[in-house]
Amino acid sequence: MSQGDPGRSLAQMATGGLRWAWRRGVVVALVGLAGGVAVSRLPAPADGATFWLGNSAVPFVVLPALGSVCARGRLSAGLRGALIGVCMILGFYHVVGLTLTTGRYLGVPPDATALTGAARMYFWFFDVLALGRADGGAPWLTIALACGFTIGYRSRLAGQRMPAFVGRVAGVLMVAEPLFNASGAATYLTGLHYRLSAGNLAIWGTEELLGIALIVITVMRNTVARARGAGMN
């Protein structure tokens, strides 16, 4: 082929596009993993009946939404959100570290190869977190995939109003989550049981107030922006 062959140019462009997408995907995945690890590192109470901030759903919604900021289109934004959501779950549960620490718990023989232990570990991880079948687990991986794609796609759809959209979603979630936990619904759906203690009520009450404030702020800013736009017209 000659140097100016259109076929070669298209092939080079396609290869360059794949490399660009791969690099961006790696960066997005690392952001999700780092976010999940950071949430899991929040100080946890000794009492399992006390609400742990690491179990809040807000970071798992906000970060996938922010991942759609530089996306070229809605589908790309949705895929980025899904990737961040899944990687946050992987980071939260330290999926790499689990392969090194839970082999005996999973019944892996001491003389088993590292590959056998890792395969057993990842099968267990998939069974619990993707399908929610073993030990009463919840399918957080599947939930993160669906929610991440939805929030990423919808955030990109909001366009310039994305900050307001994300703020409203986070605010509604902060208002609904304490009610969900206090009502006991969390026990039936996730297996987490929180008692109505003064500490939990203080945490949930603060979250409720912050959520309401966030909703009011985003709605007011959106109203002001619309009024200015109407005035300019």
Separation CA 64–CA 60 (nearest Å): 7
Alpha carbons 24 and 106: distance in angstroms, whole number: 35
pLDDT at position 1 over 50: no
Q: Say which residue the tokens 């203690």 belong to.
A: 197
Please tell me the distance from the alpha carbon of residue 14 to that of residue 7, in angstroms, as a whole number. Answer: 11
- Residue 90 to residue 26: CA distance in whole angstroms: 14
Is the Cβ–Cβ distance between 53 and 42 less than 8 Å?
Answer: yes
Confidence tier at 166 by pLDDT (50, 70, 90): confident
- The confidence score (pLDDT) of residue 2 equals 47
Contact 200, 50 (CB under 8 A): yes
Rounded Cα gap, residues 81 and 70, in angstroms: 12
Q: State how far the Cα of 211 lies from the Cα of 176, in Å rounded to an integer.
A: 9
50-71 pLDDT, tens per residue?
Answer: 888 888 888 998 889 888 777 7
Model pLDDT for residues 97-113, shown as the tens digit of each residue: 665 555 555 566 666 66
Query: Which candidate, 40, 80, 74, 46, places its Cα nearest to that of 59?
Result: 40
Give start and end residues of each alpha helix (H) in the chain: 6-40, 59-66, 74-92, 95-101, 114-129, 140-158, 162-182, 185-190, 198-232
Q: Is the pTM of this model over 0.85?
A: no
- Hunting for tokens 């997005």 — which residue is that? 28
**Are 79 and 156 a contacting pair, CB within 8 Å?**
no
